[in-house]
Amino acid sequence: MSSGTGAVGWRKCRYPPGQNLQLFLFLLCRFGFVNGQIRYSIPEEMRKGSFIGNVAQDLGLDLKRLRSGRARIVTGENTQYTELKADKGILVVNDRIDREQLCFDTMPCSFSFEVILETPMELHQITVEITDINDHSPTFKRENILFEISESALSGARFPLTSAEDADVGTNGLKEYFLTENDHFVLKQHSNADGKRYAEMVLQKPLDRETNPNLLLKLIAVDGGNPQRSGTVNINITILDINDNAPVFNQSVYKAAVTENSPRDTYVITVNATDADFGPNSIVRYYFSDLNSGSNDLFKIDEKSGTIFIIGSVDYEKDKKYELQIHAKDQGGLTDSSKVIIDVMDVNDNAPVISVMSFSSPVSEDSPPGTTIGIINVKDLDSAENGQVSCRIEENVPFKIKSNLKNYYTLLTYSILDRESVSEYNITVTVTDAGVPPLSSKRTFNLKISDVNDNSPRFLKGVYDAFVFENNLPGVSILVIKAKDPDENQNARISYILEESRVGGGPVSEYSLSYNGARSPCTAIFGHHLFPSHRFF
Ligand SMILES: *[C@@H]1O[C@H](CO)[C@@H](O)[C@H](O)[C@H]1NC(C)=O
């Protein structure tokens, strides 16, 4: 606990208060009238009353001499660290001795005082060396060290750290630092000229804000005492963003469908790209590729929201599908690409169109059923049901329509025609598609039936009776006869011929026929049996 030592060269004189005594002691001290010197060594922070050394024994004085000489301590200090127990001849601790307070970092640390005895006067110098105990931990002045480090910082970048203070000295003083184990930084330790230890972090592996925007490390300072003491400071590292991430579309292909003829500003789809960077580096703008020739006039992309709208007229009959290349770009010019496939849905916006391939009019009334009158072609630009057409004839007429080939229809006669009953037909062909609502087109064919000489002329009466007065002059009109033929033109032209026979004993040639006008009935001037007859060509 304590040890007496012999006189050493080191000496420090302290002077008690009191003018005369001070001067006296000064002289004694100055000229070396000091009878003896002892040196003790004790650790700091010992309890009051702890034994320092046996002064009587070490000075070779007996207890009687101590008593008779009124042995006492004289010191210039205000604090009386030690007490001389004259009855036992020992020196004990009187007050708390804190090495750090007494000497700060001076080594070794000691204080001296004199033991004075009277009659005769003796002056003995006692030096007490205070050895350090590890009663202080390394401490940091701050609780947190804040760093803002760009994620672009290169390996090898150095970041000096606050050093810790340990009031203890020697091995009890600050020994080394430790840094929380981490992937990015290693600790480098240094000592400056006066032996103070400090540390710095060295970046070993680049930082990535997107993986970890904050790093929380601890710097631990330890001393060399036993038991060891330590102090800790938090190192709070905020990683600053650089634009090291390109935007990324959340889909490699976007699919949308729009109906054709949709009005301007119809919503199509919203695309989205995210950028892992922070702040302005993460702001993404959307735009179409220049490669989308043509379709860029039909669609518009909102550069901020990524929403795609229709701005032109989308026509299914022109394009059934659009493929738009899109880009996303951040402020730093990093980009990503994706595509949008827009299916156009058909709307029944096209009526079927009828084209006449051939049509023959007139048609002879003796044409057999099944005779082809015409061929039409029907086209509907729409697709699926919207483009599926059916063809029918509106009127109740002896014609039918038949399709042998897709989109081609044949107009046929259905039954026997008779010009004399109906000489002309208006045949309306209607084509209708299967869309909802359906669209249709009509075409009217005016078909004339040409005549065939299939009717004989007929007299209006089976027998004509006439009375004539005898002794007529030749040329007297006897009667008017009339025949009709329902055929047309030449086929209806009637000639009247008197059949060769005898009438009343005379030949029929004694009579003659005369026509009242070109096509009027015939007047028999004279004669008996009359027969209408056709003129044939
Ligand atoms: C056919 O249509 C034409 C023109 O509309 C019309 O003059 C004619 O009388 C019609 N014929 C029949 C038989 O309906």
pLDDT of residue 504: 66
Which of 424, 428, 444 is the pocket-test mutation for ligand 1 (most atoms within 8 Å of CB)? 424
Same domain, yes or no: 140 and 181 = yes
- Mapping DSSP onto H, E and C, the string for 209-264 reads CCCCCEEEEEEEEEECCCCCCEEEEEEEEEEECCCCCCCEECCCEEEEEEECCCCC
H or E stretch at 61: none
Q: Mark which of 430, 450, 470 sits at the end of a domain.
A: 450
- Which atom of ligand 1 is nearest the CA belonging to 425? 13
- Does a structural domain hold residue 308? yes
Contact indicator for 323, 293 with CB cutoff of 8 Å: no
* Angle subtended at Cα 296 by Cα 295 and Cα 297, rounded to the nearest 5 degrees: 85
Q: Cβ of 419: how many Cβ atoms within 10 Å? A: 23
* Angle subtended at Cα 64 by Cα 58 and Cα 70, rounded to the nearest 5 degrees: 85
Does residue 395 line the site of ligand 1, with CB under 6 A?
no
pLDDT of residue 231: 95
- Does a structural domain hold residue 49? yes
- Does a structural domain hold residue 67? yes
Give the Cα separation of 490 and 472 in Å (integer).
Answer: 36
Same domain, yes or no: 319 and 401 = no
Give the Cα separation of 80 and 201 in Å (integer).
Answer: 47
DSSP structural state of residue 531: E
Tell me the C-alpha to C-alpha distance, in Å, between residue 77 and each of 12, 16, 126: 13, 8, 14
Tokens representing 237? 């590292």
- Does a structural domain hold residue 178? yes
Same domain, yes or no: 79 and 185 = no
- Concatenating the DSSP letter of every residue in 326-381 gives EEEEETTS-EEEEEEEEEEEP-S----EEEEEEE--SEETTPPTT-EEEEEEEE--
Same domain, yes or no: 176 and 203 = yes
pLDDT of residue 149: 95
Same domain, yes or no: 123 and 11 = yes
Give the Cα separation of 86 and 64 in Å (integer).
Answer: 9
Cα(155) to centroid(ligand 1), Å: 98
pLDDT of residue 241: 92
Count of the separate structural domains present in the chain: 5
Q: Mark which of 279, 309, 326 sits at the end of a domain.
A: 326
Same domain, yes or no: 199 and 258 = no
pLDDT of residue 528: 41
pLDDT of residue 3: 39
Print burial letters for 350-373: b (CB count within 10 Å at least 16), e (below 16): bbbebeeeebeeebebbbeeebeb
Same domain, yes or no: 11 and 28 = yes
Q: In this structure, what CATH number is given to the domain that contains residue 200?
A: 2.60.40.60
Atom 1 in ligand 1: residue holding the nearest Cα: 426
Same domain, yes or no: 371 and 435 = yes
H or E stretch at 101: helix 99-103
Cα(359) to centroid(ligand 1), Å: 17
pTM above 0.75, yes or no: no
- Does a structural domain hold residue 336? no
Can you tell me which residue has the tokens 């000497």? 103
- Does a structural domain hold residue 348? no
Atom 5 in ligand 1: residue holding the nearest Cα: 426
- Does a structural domain hold residue 104? yes
- Does a structural domain hold residue 357? yes
Q: Mark which of 403, 431, 450 sits at the end of a domain.
A: 450
pLDDT of residue 214: 94
The list of the chain residues with pLDDT below 70 reads: 1-34, 503-506, 508, 516-537
Same domain, yes or no: 285 and 320 = yes
H or E stretch at 325: strand 321-330
Q: Is 33 helix (H, G, I), strand (E, B) or coil?
A: coil
Same domain, yes or no: 84 and 120 = yes
The domain of 369 spans 353-450
Same domain, yes or no: 306 and 369 = no
Same domain, yes or no: 126 and 16 = yes
Give the Cα separation of 508 and 531 in Å (integer).
Answer: 12
Give the Cα separation of 49 and 84 in Å (integer).
Answer: 10
